[in-house]
Amino acid sequence: MTRSTLIARLTERFPHLMGRDTEIAVRLILEAVGDALAQGSRVEVRGFGSFALSHRPPRVGRNPKSGEQVTVPAKHVPHFKPGKELRERVDAQLTNGIAPLK
Amino acid sequence: MTESVTKAELADVLFERLGLNKREAKDMVDCFFEEVREALERGDDVKLSGFGMFNLRTKSPRPGRNPKTGEEIPITARRVVTFHASNKLKAQIDSAYAERDHANG
């Protein structure tokens, strides 16, 4: 599923809204999640999962080609932890053998 | 900035910036996450350009252990969701941090 299929499906669910509105809604939701993370907040959606930042401290790495030492700067990377409902629903399909991976 | 952002705050954004009424805003946020869940449940990966990808991975069964008792218990085959942030999202987070580090000296 891509962003455009998601927008199309939401537009079907909200027939009284215009497609343009669902498109903006999807953009606003994703931007709000991104902005929260950029500000250092967590995002927690019950039944879906939570987005948080994990901190990677600076480290001394090596250029694998030249063997030269380089400092890799500290960075914050987003991390997603699936919620209970999502974990269970995704796994149930495998256990029941209904939908093979596409 | 320790408070978590939840569905309520996301719905507020739709109310304030898109002009959906409170009810519609809440429904839209619920449906948004439900659509993503349903896609993953169907076995579909979800690719949201500019944000990231939710991928499904099938894990083989492996032996596990109860860390408390040391007892061996098998971990069954399972399907799990992984998330990979897009380069755009990673860059947004990195530059926000760089700016704050700079501001704090």
**Exposed/middle/buried for A2, CB within 10 Å: 0-12, 13-18, 19+?**
middle
B6: helix, strand or coil: coil
Which residues, given as ranges, of chain B have pLDDT below 70? 1-2, 105
Q: Hey, are the CB atoms on B10 and A85 less than 8 Å from each other?
A: no
Residues in chain A within 8 Å Cβ distance of B23: none
Give the tens place of pLDDT for each residue, B6-35: 999 999 999 999 999 999 999 999 999 999
State the smallest CA–CA distance between residue A60 and chain B in angstroms: 19
The minimal CB distance from A45 to the residues B17, B33, B92 is found for B33
